[in-house]
Amino acid sequence: MYAADPARLEAALTALLGPEFEVSVAGRAPAGDDGPGAAHRREHRLGRAALRRVADRLGERVDTDRLVLPHPRMTLTHSAGVAVAVGARTSTGIGVDLEAVRPVNPGIARLFLTSAERARLGAAPPHVLLRLWTVKEAVFKADTGNAGRILADYELCRPAAWSGHATRGGSRFRYRTVELPGHLVSVAVHEERTA
């Protein structure tokens, strides 16, 4: 499984995303700290370390501990002890979401899919809902103007597709989802203003 080998996950994502992107993956940090919130602090440190490597590769001289997200060229996600940072050489917004494959409650669809998306999908199986969650999260993160927004504000043009476009108002986003052993990963880029 890739989670046990961050280098393999990083190589797979780099190959899938291509030269436009820089990818850094950090795996489980040693436990050590077992107090309240310890797991969250470990994932935070993993994420910021991965983000620092991406910033360095992009030639960005920023303090990633203070970097505010969403950022036009860098994004971050973590799940189940794995952190993934992605950077774009040129971008007006980029987002990534990583989720460990797991069962999900079909009732969550109403929390992040629009009524039109739910109607097009019908009774979507749980693995489809998890994939769509990663897409919506990545698109949300790619929108540098996402303050006050919710995931259902973004409309997927073809929700059944593993790659495609989403819109919010006059903004358009391109996304792609890949399934790797044990994980779903979606990356989204803000493309243009449509109006």
Other CB atoms within a 10 A radius of the CB of residue 110 amount to 11
Spell out the per-residue pLDDT of the chain, length 195, in tens: 455 588 888 988 888 888 989 999 998 755 566 677 888 888 889 999 999 999 999 999 999 989 999 999 999 998 888 899 999 988 889 999 999 999 899 889 999 999 999 999 888 888 999 999 999 999 999 999 999 999 999 999 999 999 999 999 999 999 999 998 888 999 999 996 654
Closest by CA to 137, choosing from 101, 96, 166, is 96
- In this prediction the pTM is 0.90
Tokens of 13: 């994502």
Q: Are 55 and 62 in contact (CB under 8 A)?
A: yes
| Domains identified in the chain and CATH numbers | 2-193 (3.90.470.20)
CA–CA separation, 150 vs 10, rounded Å? 29
Q: Compute φ and ψ for 38, nearest 5 degrees.
A: -60, -45
In the chain the beta strands, taken as DSSP E runs, fall at 21-26, 74-79, 82-88, 94-100, 155-156, 163-168, 171-180, 183-193
For 146, list phi and psi in degrees, rounded to 5.
-85, 0
